[in-house]
Structure 1
Amino acid sequence: MTIRAVLFDFSGTLFRLEQDESWLTELTDHDGTPLDIEAQAELMRRMTAPVGQVVELDAEHVHAWQHRDRDPGLHRKVYLEVLKKSGVPHFDQAEALYNRLIDPSQWTPYPDTEAALKAAAERGLKVGVLSNIAFDIRPAFTARGWDAYVDEFVLSFEVGAIKPELEIFRKAVRSLDVPATETLMVGDSEEADGGARALGCEFALVDPLPTAERPDALLTALRGFGVA
């Protein structure tokens, strides 16, 4: 087996939306009571869950949830509803928190993200970032100079397909001009990212732990396939 390209997922794989106390200290429930630590942690989980509906939604919002990563308008609509259903009833507070979610500068890279991207690029592999996402994540890389290691960004809202649909994996491997059978997909979701296997890609699963608790999972994944 020869790996000539690596596709990395974004959320929970290369970067993570970490809880920042300053975002949540002024959040209150319907009664004006500040949200406790457990409620705050659950909010962050619901905002970044890669698959699965996280709250009960009506038919209109179910449709928005299912297509949120294809359409920025639907993404905003359903996440404001998710926040409302998750104990943030005040629109201005929900909107401020949502704006944090879609701001690439607010996302925290894993400790070995740079090393993993650089290792793959320096070995001559094609490198892609393949994400179910409704906003442009490129600034998170360009701000750090890491875009130099990435050949292609394949973002669901730009290509009109989402993981685990085969079409988005096809678009990704075509963009790198490497056969699927010589491509490794690295991601945190067996369901979404693992769908690459159906196209013939290899797959490495990483755990979307807090960044401080996952120092070298990306490098370990690459080493498992002899590419780091």
Structure 2
Amino acid sequence: MTIEAVLFDYSGTLFRLEDDDSWVDQMVDADGRAFDVHEKTEILRRMTAPVEQLVQFGTDGQYAWDNRDLDPKLHRRAYTEVLRKSGVPTDDQAAILYQRLIDPLTWTPYPDVEEVLTLLAAQGIQVAVVSNIAFDIRPAFTTRNWDRYIDAFALSFEIGAVKPDPRIFAATLDKLGVEPEAALMVGDSAEADGGATALGCRFALVDPLPSQERPSGLLDALRGHGLSR
């Protein structure tokens, strides 16, 4: 069946939260020592891993973690605790870093995002963003005028379901009016994003590398399913 819609994950697929100079002064330990590059990389990994739980929680913290992508308050609770357990010494500092996490304008798009969106639009293929997330990522698209290419946003905290739960994919396909067999899901997690295959969607896996190390990952994913110029 011809592909009529492509569903994209957000974090690690279309955009990536990356280290830059704005993190340098904020990321220091209890003694005021700046975190080194490896420590910063690990903290960013813990904040953006799509499925893995990389720290241990108590009962309340575990509940917040398990439900983080369904409720903004639980999301804040869970990730603030992740930061504290990762060596960020104060609640104030953790709050500053958390605000950076939930600001979509601080996320870096992969180099081929615009080309992919225009390619799909030229072919009349609908596009949706399907994300396990508890904050609104639409500004990342509207500020670049990319929202004109997005036919639907399916965000877990708005839908009430988290990938790989089939309900989030079904809700997205309903919005688009597309059958599962005519949809391709592109994401960086075989476990979460690959859940779309339970409905009959096709799936393409991309590597959540730093953006400059993955210049054509999205284009390559589309080509693997016959979608190219």
Q: TM-score, normalised by structure 2?
A: 0.97
Task: Tell me by how many angstroms 1:52 deviates.
Answer: 1.4
Equivalence for 2:44: 44
Partners in 2 of 1:47 and 1:192 — Cα distance? 16
Partners in 1 of 2:145 and 2:21 — Cα distance? 28
SS at match of 1:128: strand
Structure 2 residue 40 is matched with structure 1 residue 53: no
Amino acid at match of 2:37: I
| Paired residues of 2:26 and 2:97 also in contact (CA < 8 A) | no
Unaligned runs of 5+ in 1: none
Equivalence for 2:22: 22
SS at match of 1:69: helix
Matched-pair identity in %: 60
Amino acid at match of 1:18: E
| Paired residues of 2:100 and 2:106 also in contact (CA < 8 A) | yes
Partners in 2 of 1:21 and 1:90 — Cα distance? 21
String of CA shifts for 1:53-102, please: whole Å, max 9, x gaps: 11011111111111100000000011000000000021111100000000
Stretches of 4+ aligned residues off by more than 4 angstroms: none
Equivalence for 2:208: 208
Task: Tell me by how many angstroms 1:33 deviates.
Answer: 2.6
Equivalence for 2:166: 166
SS at match of 1:204: strand
Q: 203-212 vs 113-122, which deviates more?
A: 113-122
Partners in 2 of 1:99 and 1:117 — Cα distance? 28
Q: How many residues align?
A: 228
Q: TM-score, normalised by structure 1?
A: 0.97
Equivalence for 1:155: 155
Equivalence for 1:138: 138
Structure 2 residue 102 is matched with structure 1 residue 95: no
String of CA shifts for 1:183-207, please: whole Å, max 9, x gaps: 0000000000000000100000000
| Paired residues of 2:164 and 2:192 also in contact (CA < 8 A) | yes
Equivalence for 1:182: 182
Partners in 2 of 1:164 and 1:24 — Cα distance? 35
Amino acid at match of 2:119: A
